[in-house]
Structure 1
């Protein structure tokens, strides 16, 4: 799909819900943002900051005045999800930013978040914009069980700390949909394939598997992936989540077995050079994604020991 162009979510029976490709990392079908057009319009997920204008232009195209935007909701504070929040808040003066209380302070003062991101993504930092600090009085701290009222729709908050301790997922009961953040992996629609996401420094396999149980208990018909796009799972939800549980568990096992034979630097290079996703995204992004995910697993293995 053309980056920046809002498209109705036609999975399941969704209404008032749109998504756009933000063109993250100059890569098509990697990063999505969602818009719910309701009494209090909402943007869910904000990209890496460099794409903020695309989200604002999508609001314009959908006929949502920037002064009317009420909610900017991010599943967690990793900058590929929250990096654009400050830019959107600045352009949409009546919108509050909803984020887990565990990570809220890092959106008010993103200096440590920036340092951690640079360490995790390496030379991919060139694709990012320095995030804009968000005034504390514009930040609404949320936790498991909270509800964000939009009008006909609401966003129910569920803790999902496996990928990062500050991650939540948002349930939209009216659409029977969940905005998954990174809790359900990375969906590649071109291949109808799910792949792992395990970045440093908070990845925890057991917590990730527990998050999949949370998603199963919500029982949505539609999974709205940040990476990438809506997926109609319907009666196949259990199979979809089981597939990711297997993918993630086997991924950790593969890294652990390779580490038994190679030093950590060689383990990272091994998986970066053997990725088969270069023709889906681009070779540079695919290598960087694999390297980052390996580093997250290595950190998890150290912590587990």
Structure 2
């Protein structure tokens, strides 16, 4: 397997878990502490890669104490139930709004099937419920004391209402899940970040408020679920503030011309325009059309466009009330 763990410093390791079969898509962080902790599991098909990464780090899964999921979307938490079968002493730490969906994942499964249709089983199956006694909720501002560091949990909606970000006192870094975007490390010529506006709880105002909260923490590094560590937080904030209006303007312009269309009808129209704008930007920076980043980018733009379509349909309905 190619998921060789990388030492990020401050007793944190990171390795690829090949979410959806893609390299550099989703990763798992390991906090090396007497109270061994994992951040993000990805989906169940990623668990063999995760277990292999632990093996390479000479970690016995039975020694893991905490499995933290930033939010309950399946590419971050879908494999938690399966992983628990290998980690008899671990508890899963989850946002209070995500708790019930890990106990009973039926709505998560239905939502994912609606998005991924015939690809659902290949990408996400199986999804196991997690017993309540194996779950731990962390409210906004609460901490988890490990042996040599403190993890502080912050409610950070925008991408989803069931999302928190976790500040690590030892590295002065923060695990942000999808709240402040995706880091496309397939592009090595420069750092490239985009917001993640996937359905169905995307809220641009909340996203910017969460970004400001993280910015005010003055962190030194950001740990992205997609994908890896960035040690230039100011660039991340600037890029998300630049691209989020582009996403919104694109989605709104398509919606205003097609108000009678459904989400399924709007999504490809938004996706085409958004893809063209991002492709033009990357072309100006000499990223060739056959660059491997486009494999992930096209899929991401489709999902982000679905979230934009959902947002503008919801907003329009609210305005009519």
The aligned residue for residue 181 of structure 1 is 177
Match of 2:20 among 12, 25, 32: 25
C-alpha separation between the residues in 2 aligned to 1:115 and 1:52?
21
SS of the equivalent of 1:175 reads coil
Match of 1:50 among 40, 45, 53: 45
Deviates more, 1:273-282 or 1:123-132: 273-282
Cα deviation, 1:8-33, whole Å, max 9, x if unaligned, reads 11xxxx31101111111111111111
Aligned CA distance change for structure 1 residues 118 and 279 (closer, same or farther; 3 Å): farther
Q: How far apart are residue 6 of structure 1 and its match?
A: 1.2
Q: Which has the higher contact order (CA 8 A, sep 6+)?
A: 1
SS of the equivalent of 2:166 reads strand
1:41–1:69 CA contact under 8 A, matched in 2: yes
C-alpha separation between the residues in 2 aligned to 1:7 and 1:303?
42
C-alpha separation between the residues in 1 aligned to 2:151 and 2:64?
15
2:70–2:163 CA contact under 8 A, matched in 1: yes
Q: How far apart are residue 295 of structure 1 and its match?
A: 1.4
1:301 counterpart = 2:312? yes
**TM-score, structure 2 length as denominator?**
0.87
How well do the aligned residues superpose, as a CA RMSD in angstroms? 1.9
C-alpha separation between the residues in 1 aligned to 2:228 and 2:174?
12
The aligned residue for residue 290 of structure 1 is 301
1:28–1:281 CA contact under 8 A, matched in 2: no
C-alpha separation between the residues in 1 aligned to 2:160 and 2:224?
16
Match of 1:120 among 84, 106, 115: 115
The aligned residue for residue 286 of structure 2 is none
Aligned CA distance change for structure 1 residues 89 and 158 (closer, same or farther; 3 Å): same
Cα deviation, 1:86-108, whole Å, max 9, x if unaligned, reads 11111010011000111111111
Aligned CA distance change for structure 1 residues 75 and 32 (closer, same or farther; 3 Å): same
C-alpha separation between the residues in 2 aligned to 1:38 and 1:219?
24
1:159 counterpart = 2:155? yes
- Size of the alignment, in residue pairs? 296
The aligned residue for residue 250 of structure 2 is 254
1:200 counterpart = 2:199? yes
**Equivalences for residues 1-305 of structure 1 within 5 A:** 3-9=2-8, 14-125=9-120, 126-191=122-187, 192-233=191-232, 237-262=233-258, 263=261, 265=264, 267-273=266-272, 275=275, 276=279, 279-281=291-293, 283=295, 285-305=296-316
C-alpha separation between the residues in 2 aligned to 1:278 and 1:173?
41
Aligned CA distance change for structure 1 residues 255 and 218 (closer, same or farther; 3 Å): same
SS of the equivalent of 2:179 reads coil
C-alpha separation between the residues in 1 aligned to 2:65 and 2:78?
18
Cα deviation, 1:91-145, whole Å, max 9, x if unaligned, reads 0100110001111111111111110111133344222122111111000011111
